[in-house]
Amino acid sequence: MLSLVSSSQPSATSNDEGEARSLIDAVSMCRNIAGRIGAESFSLFFTAVHGEARRLVPVFDDTFPGVSPVTRRLSAPDTADFVRLVSTTTCPLWWRGDGAPTFLDAQARVWTREVTPSLTKRSGIAFPVANDRRRLGAIIFTGNEMKLGEELLCDTHAQCFDLFAQVAKLREQECNAQRPMSKRELECLRLTANGLTSDEIATALGLSVHTANQYLTNSTQKLNAMNRIHAVAKALRSGMIA
pLDDT at residue number 170: 86
- pTM beyond 0.95: the answer is no
Strand partners, 56: 47
pLDDT score of 7? 32
How far, in Å, CA of 86 to CA of 74, rounded?
12
CB 53 within 8 A of CB 33: no
**Contact present, 43 and 140 (Cβ < 8 Å):** yes
Inter-residue contact 157 to 150 (CB < 8 Å) = no
Domains and CATH numbers, the chain: 23-176 (3.30.450.40), 178-238 (1.10.10.10)
Tell me what pLDDT residue 10 has: 35
Residues 57, 79: Cα–Cα separation, whole Å:
12
Judge whether 44 and 137 are in contact, CB under 8 Å.
yes
Q: Are strands 93-95 and 53-61 parallel, antiparallel or unpaired?
A: unpaired
Q: pLDDT digit of tens for each residue in the chain (242 aa)?
A: 333 333 333 333 334 347 888 889 999 999 999 999 999 999 999 998 766 678 898 889 999 888 899 999 998 888 989 999 999 999 999 999 988 999 999 999 999 999 988 899 999 999 999 998 888 999 999 999 999 999 999 999 999 999 999 999 887 776 665 678 899 999 999 999 888 999 999 999 999 999 999 999 999 888 878 788 888 888 887 777 86
